[in-house]
Chain A
Amino acid sequence: MDSLALLLAATFNSGTILALAALGLLINERAGVINLGAEGTMLVAAMAGFATANVTGSDVLAFGAGAAVGAVMACALGFLVIWLNANQVAAGLALSLFGTGFSAFVGINFAQAKLPERPHFAVPYLSDIPFVGPALFKQHPMVYLAVLLTIGTAWFLYRSRSGLVLRAIGESPESAHALGYPVRRVRLAAMMVGGALCGLAGAYLSVIYTPLWVEGMVAGKGWIALALTTFATWRPARVLLGAYLFGFVTMLQFHLQGMGVQIPSQFLSMTPYLATILVLLLISRNANFIRVNRPASLGQPFYPGS
């Protein structure tokens, strides 16, 4: 039982990185813009977060720096794809490649740096409950923040007026424009929020999860987060579940190996991705399911006045 509790704890910790990034991407995709620059954004933010934590010693400032850097990068991409109507796929990929190289270049001096040890977090009283305590209540506050952010995003999208406007813009920017909503500005805002969340995920990775900076350390998590939004059919709660599922399968393969389960480790390394593809397949079987939830204008340029 103890090892199951620890496995669950590791799952939530690992899933949080994906959940934060995927939630951000969900918000900007709901507004009709796809940000393929997530991987590069996370890397630059991870670098910025680590550097800030290293210099100032403050985790809060580090998260702030990560989020700010993420928002700025999304803003740059937003200018290209929203105002200049550049191709979203090409521009996003370019941003990702740029971020990979840029973070490596700027981070040279931090490659050997280290962070001071931080105190362990535990929720008072609750963390003493057997099984549930070690599984759920000995996490970094960011893990709980990801859950709160998911609830907040769901409330915003489905219960608030501005969420309705955002979704309307994602469905039909022309209609929203005709009704007098500032399509471009709302899209840019959505992108910046999305970028900030990707940045937060990157900073969490380099400051808390693996407290070091090495180039390329995001190692594909940005792409997985992008896949997760589709996987979750653009629903916040499903994004969180999907992130935990992916985190669970990732951690499970290591635990199975440690327990001496006789499965080739190469196969186990593949399982998280296999699980993603399987779930994607199951969801795609119902075409309506995707179509109903998919923002209709996703990835398409919008020309006001045309």
Chain B
Amino acid sequence: MADVIAYVEMRDGMLRPVARETVSAARALADELGGGVVAVALGGPGSADAARELGSYGADRILAAEHAALTNYHPDAAVQAIESVSNATAAAAIVFPASARGKDLSARVAGRLDRSLAAEVTELSVEDGAIVVTRPVYAGKAYAKLRFRATPALISIRPNVFPVVEKQGDGVVETLDIEPGEARTRVTGIEGGSRERLDVREADVVVAGGRGLQAPENWNMLDDLVDALGPQATLGASRAVVDAGWRPHGEQVGQTGKVVSPSLYFAIGISGAIQHLAGMQTANVIVAVNKDPEAPIFGVANYGIVGDAFEVVPRLTEEIRTLRDSGG
């Protein structure tokens, strides 16, 4: 049996952006193994409809459980659901997103099934019949290539790395019957934060600021740049400004913050400490703006501007606005 299970992350009855990446990655792996893709979607009433579209990313079967108790993350029920699907399908692999929830859940499932887990995987393939993954270690200062010898192979994929691939075909939606029992660990709610902005790990464009911005109120300037770049852009921060209390922990990029892989990363007034570079050097394109031409950030940046952020950033915002207004 060579089926691949994909855990589909939903919030507020909608697919999270990373859900399509997870199913696409599972599809690619299943094609190499010669098996099918079984998507598991747990959510509140009405969520099964939202999961239907996963067929067009390669899910053959979509097992959907709808229950009021599943509106929020329900770790115990999710572990139980995946365990039962895994046992019923004798799956070769279970693919999770390496999101906050996916990382929590994948580790629980690994403990329950007593199977190894490779987290934050950036490459996934089959060699001589075995599943082989590559994942960053030391926050990307090195990469480990690992081979699974036991099944199911548990894998969480790094967001923003695996392509979303549309496929012909409809997935069959089936009802997954689970009765969420008394939860050992009960999620009672979600507190907002700034939901109008994407999380720094999910955004396609990150504008990150550091000490060079001199004071927390100067983040207005970065806000304007993010607004000009559009809804796929968000803010990030260096460790120094988070430690100084200028920015929230959730924005910190680096080895002890979040590791990000956006298409475009702006480092504004960030010198480029090793632990920061480790957190963003897998970005597709890096732009650095810094007064100090010797700043290490210029060593990893595709493009650098040596100059004062207070002059460069407003001009950049203006140029990008003009570009957007002209339909570019």
Instruction: Verify that A and B bind, or say they do not.
Output: no
Residues of A within 8 A of B (CB): none
Chain B interface (Cβ < 8 Å from any Cβ of A): none
